[in-house]
Amino acid sequence: MNNTNKFDPEMVSPDDQEPREERMIRIPINLTAGIAAVLFSAFIFIVMPVQVIVSEKDVVDGRAFPTLLMAVMLLCGAALIVKDLYKILRKEPLEWKTINVHTELKALVLFGILFVTYLLAKLTDLFAIGAVFCCVSFLLYFKCRKKSYYVITLVVAVAIWAVFRFVLNVDF
């Protein structure tokens, strides 16, 4: 008897009833992390002279700690790459990580909401507009149907902004 149930919770996503294996990718985790660390630290080294101004009178300037941190990140990333390249040359197995693409896309949408919130607050010079957008976007994303949640969230977001702006005199 064939015991493969289409709605087996181990095999099927609750969102669209498709098998989970179709949306999984495998990556060599140490090699990928090493490459990402080396690229990120190289990028920071390139943009730091333009972004961080050095004062001639300071013994330790604003570049000292970031430079040290990026040097450590660069060395650790290079060590991960060399370690995995050595394993490849010796034909030893690498450490692999399986990633659910659907979960990562959800995280990317949440990051997008936060990024647009930042842009709205920065471009309009009104933190309240960004906060309202963020609140409404999260409620919509999580498919909240209760109108009272929208009202409460919006009132609280605007109230917090008003307290900081008019009572504490903090300008965002």
Per-residue burial over 66-102, b = 16 or more CB atoms within 10 Å of its CB, e = otherwise: ebeebeebbeebeebbeebeebeeeeeeeeeeeeeee
Furthest-apart CA pair in the chain: how many Å? 82
| Mean pLDDT for the stretch of residues 77-96 | 96
pLDDT score at 112: 97
Structure tokens at 112: 């997008």
Q: What average pLDDT is seen over the chain? A: 86
**What's the domain range around 52?**
1-94
The answer on 64 and 139 residing in a single domain is: no
The confidence band for 22, taking pLDDT boundaries of 50, 70 and 90, is: low
The answer on 78 and 148 residing in a single domain is: no
The answer on 11 and 66 residing in a single domain is: yes
The answer on 106 and 56 residing in a single domain is: no
The answer on 66 and 123 residing in a single domain is: no
Most confident of 63-67, 100-104, 113-117, 163-167: 113-117
The conformation of residue 166, written as its DSSP 8-state character, comes to: I
Q: Kindly report the CA angle at 26 between 75 and 29, in degrees rounded to 5?
A: 15
